[in-house]
């Protein structure tokens, strides 16, 4: 009985073995292309979340969904907050509506134990809105055109059109400082 040929056995290094190894590596690379590891990021909310914190968590959710990650949304009730579950559901639904351009919920939000949980999946790239945070701090680079096609942003940033002309004494004193807290105080002292 003869054994079938195995290029993996030691001692063989001919051209057939090299072709065989090349084709095996091609098959492995092709298999890796179709294998996607789903990453899940969790965002935790509370029923009494402040508008600023809500916006920060929302921008993180947009970033995660635009990076092809799933988002697990968890809202945790503490103490007497369980008496007003409708507030928690309102916060979760508001969050889902804000992310509607980037992802969709896999199921309706569910109350499990002391929290509301829902999983959001990213929309396909061709149906998803562009990431507004792609420039790092959310501000497009200077000189870039706005998305809606008008040139109003260019007119505002043009140095010739943005000269500040002071009209009263308080503005004359603080023309160089945009957020001077003493401007009104100096104006009141100057008038008195």
Task: Count other Cβ atoms within 10 Å, centred on residue 62.
Answer: 23
Residue 76 falls inside a structural domain:
yes
Residue 156 falls inside a structural domain:
no
The CATH number of the domain holding residue 63 is 3.30.110.10
Residue 175 falls inside a structural domain:
no
Residue 190 falls inside a structural domain:
no
Residue 14 falls inside a structural domain:
no
Residue 92 falls inside a structural domain:
yes
- Mean per-residue pLDDT of the chain: 76
Residue-wise pLDDT for 161-191, tens only, equals 445 555 554 445 445 556 666 666 666 666 6
Residue 162 falls inside a structural domain:
no
* Interval 102-120 mean pLDDT: 95
pLDDT greater than 50 at residue 147: no
- The pTM for the full model equals 0.54
Residue-wise pLDDT for 1-17, tens only, equals 555 555 555 556 677 77
Q: How many domains does the chain have?
A: 1
Range of the domain at 116: 40-122
Pick 84 or 172 by higher pLDDT.
Answer: 84
Residue 25 falls inside a structural domain:
no
Q: Which two tokens stand for residue 112?
A: 């499990």
């Amino acid at each position: 009985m003869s054994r079938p040929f195995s290029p993996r056995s030691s001692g063989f290094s001919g051209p057939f073995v090299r072709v065989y190894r090349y084709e095996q590596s091609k098959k492995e690379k092709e298999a890796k292309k179709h294998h996607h590891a789903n990453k899940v990021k969790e965002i935790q909310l509370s029923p009494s979340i402040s508008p600023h914190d809500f916006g920060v968590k929302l921008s993180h959710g947009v970033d995660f969904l635009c990076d092809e990650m799933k988002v697990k949304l968890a809202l945790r009730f503490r103490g007497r907050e369980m008496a007003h579950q409708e507030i928690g559901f309102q916060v979760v639904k508001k969050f889902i509506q804000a992310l509607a351009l980037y992802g969709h919920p896999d199921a309706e939000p569910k109350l499990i134990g002391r929290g509301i949980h829902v999983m959001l999946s990213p929309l396909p790239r061709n149906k998803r809105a562009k990431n507004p945070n792609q420039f790092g701090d959310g501000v497009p680079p200077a000189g870039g055109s706005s998305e809606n096609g008008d040139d109003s942003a260019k007119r505002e940033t043009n140095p010739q059109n943005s000269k500040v002309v002071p009209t009263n004494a308080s503005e004359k004193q603080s023309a160089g400082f945009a957020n001077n807290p003493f401007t009104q105080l100096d104006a009141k002292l100057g008038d008195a």
